[in-house]
Structure 1
Amino acid sequence: MGGGGHTGRVRIRSGVSAVLLLSVVTGLTACTTAIAGSPTSSGSVVSHTDPNAPGGIDPSFVKNTDGGEIDRLAAAVLADVKSYWSETFPKTFGGQWKDLTGGYYSVDTTDPNAPAPPCVDKATDVEGNAFYCPTADVMAWDRAALLPVLKERFGEAAVMLVLAHEMGHAVQRRAGLTIEQQRADPAKYPTILIEAQADCYAGSFVRWVADDNATYLQIATDRLDSALESLITFRDPIGTQQTDAGAHGDAFDRVSAFQDGFDSGAKLCAGMSMDNRTFTQTGFINAADAQSGGNLEFNQMLNSITPKLNAYFSGLVTRRGGQWKEPSLSPTEARPNCTNADQGPVAYCPDATKIDFDTKTELPGIHTKIGDYATGTLLASRFAVAALTDLRKPTEGSNSQHDLVCLAGSFTGSLLNLDQQYLSPGDLDEAIQVLLTYDYAARDIKGKFIPTGFERVRAFRKGVVDGDKSCGLD
């Protein structure tokens, strides 16, 4: 939060300068490229954006608007967000919702002569950003280098999420949180908590839209994947400490807050505090970890994680009265097909009690593109198939698909709880990204899978937070 009283400024890769923002987004294009096993739907979530059509949105309440497509989209989002809080604020906080007194500002950052919104000196100060400014009670966004880029890369759902997040900061002020309180007690109100709460409020709003309550917006379940993909780009740089001034959270923290709001509503968000919220963001373990960016080479990762996977799942099976049969790792230069079904680049082969994995193309490619814990997550899901097999639990069907991802999450949670020196900053983010981008971790023994990344992430988070007892084994 700067000297002008800004809060909730949205930046892709929080901490990079606005000047660098567009190139950063462009560099992430590959993360949303349609590939095998990934969600591909990121189309329209908004109807009635033509102000000349019956029921169309009139964007004239937006100050400095050009009346174009992006501002009509923003106006449609804001109209529904305001309706949501008019309905939800009294039930959550007991008072009436009050609209922003300073209004909403669209900024053309490509025009050096464009008028600047309140709280900044010039229009270019908003480049690549959206923010809520409590001192003036205004919201502003860059209609040239932020919203169009988000829409192109992730679909309209990303614009919905960003503006709903900023309104979440306005909600915080109306609920009684002041700048003075934040400054006087930063341990109680760290930035990471403030941002998580705004993400949570955004999730509660998106659920309201998904339940078909909105006038202008509509969103199908598969479009939520694009929203979460965009949220990953708003994470802090890898290695940021959660106690750092301005920390917004890693991807796991931000996605968790959004999904909690989506699942449980605004009252849960309102009750979030440092006493009941655990954040996973950490700094690098040591200089070597920082130098490697927290990533091991492919073979190093296999050698490092395999004993931990075996020990964890052996204990899990034994505690439940089963007999663990340790699967051997079997490298292959072709896509595994030991069950005559496509489990992806890593496959559990029950007849031979082994795990085949591709060492030539796809798995090493995922490892390089996303990071080492993408490999770890996929391997954990196949060890989970072995565990279900040894416990004589179903290894096919929708329930088992959720169990596999949940168990991969519970293994990951065990590393957080018991061996904090193992997971590096960014590992949980890599798990989130591989779950959103690929369905492989959720593939059962017949190759069937959970179709949406949103639901795969939800199952994984359940395992991380609640452990294996939440994974349908008992």
Structure 2
Amino acid sequence: MNRPGKSRLVLLLSVLALLASACTTEVAGTPLSQGSVVSRDTPGTGVDPKSFVKNTDGGEVDRLAATVVTDVRVFWTETFPTAFGKPFDDLSGGYYSVDTADADAKAPPCADKAADVEGNAFYCPNADIIAWDRAALLPVLRDRFGEAAVMLVLAHEMGHAVQDRTGAGLDERKADPRKWPTILIEAMADCYAGAFVRWVADGKAEHLEIETDRLDQALESLISFRDPIGTSQGDRGAHGDAFDRVSAFQDGYEQGVKLCSEMTVDNRTFTAGGFLSADDQARGGNLTFSEIFDSVTPGLDDYFTKLVADKGKQWTPPAATGADGEPTCDGGKQGPVAFCASTKALAYDKSGELPKIHSEIGDYATATLLASRYGLAARQTLGKPLDGEQAGRSAVCLSGSFTGSLFAANKRYLSPGDLDEAVQVLLDYDYAARDVKGTAKGAGFDRVREFRKGFTQGGDACGIT
């Protein structure tokens, strides 16, 4: 995060770069369980790709892709008429599997050679086809993030096909690029993918099922597709930062296709942005661990002073003390940052896990956890319970509302990547949602949702009224 004369380093994740009509993915990250999507069919069966996938080898990767595509087609066949008032027309050009490991492999339409598809899955409106790399993309996504990643990628590309059928296709984008910037088009496709995943989670798919507690892995894969840190939302190829992409997916998951179809540049706020200075860019926008507390606490005090004053209470800033090891307050373990209700103070681990999180994710991961403990302090000031699931959700939400206040302040205090770091730490750790006794409920998906609620709606949405 920014402050006068200071900036900081961010963790660079793998990114999604846009080609004119294709989505190219470079995949990196920590391996996760592959159980995020489970076929209802007997293992090794599912949909035979030879039944409709062109150039397939009939192998395991294409079987998974064919199974996903089959359910996606059914979803749109059922959903499209209600949403758009006409039947869904399947892709006239079909679906193509490409073996990019074979120099002699046949290229799909819209590509000169098979190697052009390497690391890629795309929808080509000129030929009305979807193609994917079965050698260097889908198996890597599956092994790294689980089958949910394959589902997301193919559902996203089908989302582009839906746009082509509903007035947001390539011709419309060329005619009015200001109305249809790339970042909006990609958000709509992420949103459509979220609506499909909800349909699967609700048990409506014939072949696929996904447990809600596995949605974190879906979001982890989506984060890996974000733009490089510092990409401006106005860039021709911008897809959005992790916060933009996760937000679009969750909106589709929670509110459905209609919301996705009605997204515009006027009703959608994007958080991706470029660096504010050359110094900020040179350092990646990161404060060191030794700097972060002095940098963020004045803003936290200002924000929570006003928040509780609006409720007729007076804010007393909680003093923060660093020690070696995880703090234990009032018998509960809240993680590497804790609010001690009995002393109305904060304690944090200055040499163990918190500096590690700071280093591996980024400084706004630290700020997010710290803000959540300030949220508990605010609840105490307002006479609200500090234990139980509601207290934990409220703490996360208040962390989001504080962050939203920084974003609203002309983005002066947030650097590119800050919101991505918040999403990452909420997915990876439950610390922000722990109550004063150290208990937390819900998955990372739920924590991100609560953070976004505070970010977009403010502190009054956080259960403190």
- The question of a shared fold, defined as TM-score above 0.5 by the shorter chain, is answered with yes
Q: Amino acid of the residue matched to residue 48 of structure 2? A: D
* Equivalent residue number for residue 13 of structure 1: 15
Task: Give the conservation status (yes or no) of the 8 Å contact 1:49–1:76.
Answer: no
* Equivalent residue number for residue 5 of structure 1: none
Give the 3 Å change call, closer, same or farther, for CA 426–173 of structure 1 in structure 2: same
Q: Amino acid of the residue matched to residue 327 of structure 2? A: P
* Equivalent residue number for residue 293 of structure 2: 302
* Equivalent residue number for residue 255 of structure 2: 264
Between 212-221 and 59-68, the greater mean CA deviation after superposition = 59-68
Displacement, 1:456?
A: 0.4
Aligned counterpart for 2:329 among listed residues 334, 338, 341: 338
Separation in 1, partners of 2:418, 2:38 = 31
Cα deviation 1:152-197 (Å, max 9, x = unaligned): 1111111111100000000001112232221121111000000000
Task: Give the conservation status (yes or no) of the 8 Å contact 2:18–2:237.
Answer: no
Alignment gaps of 5+ in structure 2: 1-12
* Equivalent residue number for residue 178 of structure 1: 169
Separation in 2, partners of 1:304, 1:235 = 27
Aligned counterpart for 2:282 among listed residues 271, 283, 291: 291
Q: TM-score, normalised by structure 1?
A: 0.92
Higher RCO (CA 8 Å, separation ≥ 6 residues): 2
Task: Give the conservation status (yes or no) of the 8 Å contact 2:36–2:211.
Answer: no
* Equivalent residue number for residue 463 of structure 2: 472
Separation in 1, partners of 2:134, 2:17 = 20
Corresponding pairs, count = 448
Displacement, 1:15?
A: 3.0
* Equivalent residue number for residue 197 of structure 1: 188
* Equivalent residue number for residue 368 of structure 1: 359
Task: Give the conservation status (yes or no) of the 8 Å contact 2:141–2:149.
Answer: yes
Runs of at least 4 residues off by over 3 Å: 40-44
Displacement, 1:368?
A: 0.4
* Equivalent residue number for residue 3 of structure 1: none
Aligned counterpart for 1:46 among listed residues 23, 39, 42: 39
Establish whether residue 439 from structure 1 lines up as the match of residue 440 from structure 2.
Answer: no
Separation in 1, partners of 2:231, 2:175 = 23
* Equivalent residue number for residue 322 of structure 1: 313
Separation in 2, partners of 1:353, 1:469 = 22
* Equivalent residue number for residue 57 of structure 1: 47
Separation in 2, partners of 1:218, 1:43 = 9
Task: Give the conservation status (yes or no) of the 8 Å contact 1:42–1:226.
Answer: no
SS in 1 for 2:188: helix
SS in 1 for 2:189: helix
Task: Give the conservation status (yes or no) of the 8 Å contact 2:341–2:436.
Answer: no
SS in 2 for 1:338: coil
SS in 2 for 1:198: helix
Task: Give the conservation status (yes or no) of the 8 Å contact 2:146–2:217.
Answer: yes
Give the 3 Å change call, closer, same or farther, for CA 298–459 of structure 1 in structure 2: same
Q: How does 1:20-419 map to 2 (within 5 A)?
A: 25-26=27-28, 28-29=29-30, 42-48=35-41, 56-60=46-50, 61-419=52-410
Separation in 1, partners of 2:402, 2:410 = 11
SS in 2 for 1:355: strand
Give the 3 Å change call, closer, same or farther, for CA 49–159 of structure 1 in structure 2: farther
Q: TM-score, normalised by structure 2?
A: 0.94
Cα deviation 1:404-439 (Å, max 9, x = unaligned): 100000000000012521100000000000000111
Task: Give the conservation status (yes or no) of the 8 Å contact 1:450–1:456.
Answer: no
Task: Give the conservation status (yes or no) of the 8 Å contact 2:34–2:147.
Answer: no
Displacement, 1:359?
A: 0.7
Q: Amino acid of the residue matched to residue 256 of structure 1? A: S
SS in 1 for 2:405: helix
Separation in 1, partners of 2:405, 2:16 = 28
